[in-house]
Amino acid sequence: MTDQPKTALSMWERSNIVRSFRWLFSWRGIRRVVIVLAWTVTIIGLWYGEENWRGRRAWNQHRQATEARGESLDLSAYIPKPVPDDQNFAQTPFLKATFLQPNIPVLTNDLYARAADHVTKTKSVEADKGRRHFTDLAAWQMASDALQSGALKRDQEFKTDKTGLAARAAAAPVVLDGLKADEAIFAELRAASSREFSRYPLKYDLENPWRILLPHLARIKQVCQRLNLEACADLASGQPGPALADVKLMLSLADSIKSEPFIISYLVRVACEQIAVQSVWEGLAEHAWTDPQLQEIQARFSSYDFLADAQQPLLGERVCGILTVDLAKKTSFLAIGDYQGRDTGWFEKMLFNRICPLIPSGWYDQERLNYCTLYDAQWKDVVNLAAKTVSPSTAEFNAHDVNRQIQGVSSGKPESGSGFKALLRHRLVVTMMEPSVHRFAAKIAIAQTGADQAALACALERYRLANGQFPETLEALAPRFISHAPNDVITGQPYKYRRDAGGQFILYSVGWNEKDDGGTPGKTLFDLAQGDWVWSYPAMEP
């Protein structure tokens, strides 16, 4: 048997892995690895530096351009200034307790609290939601009787078609008696409503702007709902004086949150204004208001400019988006999901928690820039303050255009798997948080239309009191009954108006579809899909 040559290598020695390790740990190999690592670190450092510089530069340029227009990107610029307690409407004991004891329920012993869930709309009202209707005081009386007798059941409903003046007048004393539990609170608020300023003690300095508690909004609306019921009962019982006091208090409560830089505060204010309009409408429909009372109501509604008032909450909401990026930088982008109530999966949480600490700071600047840019793009040319108009078609076009720019967006939320794509494109915040401009623009138009129509209806009623009938045209109101008639906020043209055969009139805006439907309302009072926004009265009882 022949011996193997001494030069032959063993299998171990011939292994590529072993040879690679020998090379790697040789002086030449170590030197090359160090060079590669150095180049890698240098490239990564240069990339981080470039991304940080690029993002910071772009954001600073945008900030400077925004501030040059007179708009601040700091929340402190939109926080209402402190006011002395004795001049502050929000410092009344009832409203102050909202923040001192936010978890203690109030207004729980009156008729509204105990029966509101049981008083429902009739089929005729449900079928004609495009018009205003009298409050069903007879149904409230039935609910009160059931409460007094102890026979009220959990699922019991009360509704009637007895909305004529006689039926409402008969039920009014019972309704007013059911609201006596609130008299002290109403008196306290009326006395304080003459105060010049209003500033609620919100904690604006929180790191997370979405954690700022707003418990007063619900309480303000609750009071307005009760005041409206009381005003309608007062009107039915022939007491327009107390009803006017309720209307004025409702509007004072609504205006008490006017200076707050949040869209939700604006929306609650609009809702309270619409509640007050219902009381005004019922008094006008029954010709219950006197000329001096009408002048007072008209002056109040004529003073409203909801288009201009919307600018503060819009700018404040934009700042909250910027603060959300700051919060994400300190914690994680998952904080946005927590704010939205999104159910974030464990895998997504793990990835974001690993990735967020590695993100260049310039990416957060790009997030701020894209949020503000796309936020502003949604509102471009939607509201024209000079012409005092709101353009539904522009709002819809802008919304579609912005959604087209944000990939992976469906109904305002990122589609499955789009989160990291949006992160790489620096549009994660705008993808997750961008509000619906179309709907908010509609709320602005609705608020202004409600105020305009209420003011015009008061002027028309004053003309009727003086002349025995409504005028042929709106032009006949000026200058005696109104100095300048407001125009339709949608078209910028005069509101549509005509007298009907029954001696009443129809006053309407062309509505959100920007089409004159001849005074035919949509399915709801302010329908966003079809029909006009109509102010009219039911036929008078013989």
pLDDT digits (tens, 9 = 90+) for 87-142: 999 999 999 999 888 778 889 999 999 999 999 988 889 889 999 999 999 999 99
How high is the pLDDT of residue 246?
98
How high is the pLDDT of residue 340?
46
Residue 80, pLDDT > 70, answer yes
- Read off the pLDDT of residues 495-535 as tens digits, 9 standing for 90 and up: 999 998 888 999 999 999 999 999 999 999 999 999 999 99
How high is the pLDDT of residue 352?
60
- Residues 202, 402: Cα–Cα separation, whole Å: 33
How high is the pLDDT of residue 46?
85
Residue 438, pLDDT > 90, answer no
CB 90 within 8 A of CB 162: no
Residue of higher predicted confidence among 402 and 515? 515
How high is the pLDDT of residue 359?
80
What is the widest separation between alpha-carbon atoms in the chain?
137
CB 111 within 8 A of CB 143: yes
- Read off the pLDDT of residues 31-41 as tens digits, 9 standing for 90 and up: 777 777 787 88
pLDDT band at 487 (very low <50, low <70, confident <90, very high): very high
Residue of higher predicted confidence among 22 and 502? 502
Task: Give how far Cα 73 sits from Cα of 6, 81, 288, 319, Å.
Answer: 81, 17, 49, 6
**Average of pLDDT values for 211-240?**
96
Q: Is the dihedral of CA 451, 223, 437, 128 positive or negative?
A: negative
CB 159 within 8 A of CB 139: yes
**Average of pLDDT values for 416-437?**
67
> What residue type is 24 in one-letter code?
L
Per-residue tokens: 106: 């109030």
**Average of pLDDT values for 397-419?**
63
Q: Find residue 533's DSSP bridge partners.
A: 509
Q: Is the dihedral of CA 181, 187, 193, 198 positive or negative?
A: negative
- Residues 414, 318: Cα–Cα separation, whole Å: 20
- Residues 328, 368: Cα–Cα separation, whole Å: 11
How high is the pLDDT of residue 168?
96
How high is the pLDDT of residue 13?
53
Residue of higher predicted confidence among 119 and 24? 119
Residue 408, pLDDT > 60, answer no
pLDDT band at 415 (very low <50, low <70, confident <90, very high): very low
pLDDT band at 207 (very low <50, low <70, confident <90, very high): confident
pTM of the shown model: 0.88
Residue 411, pLDDT > 50, answer no
- Residues 205, 382: Cα–Cα separation, whole Å: 31
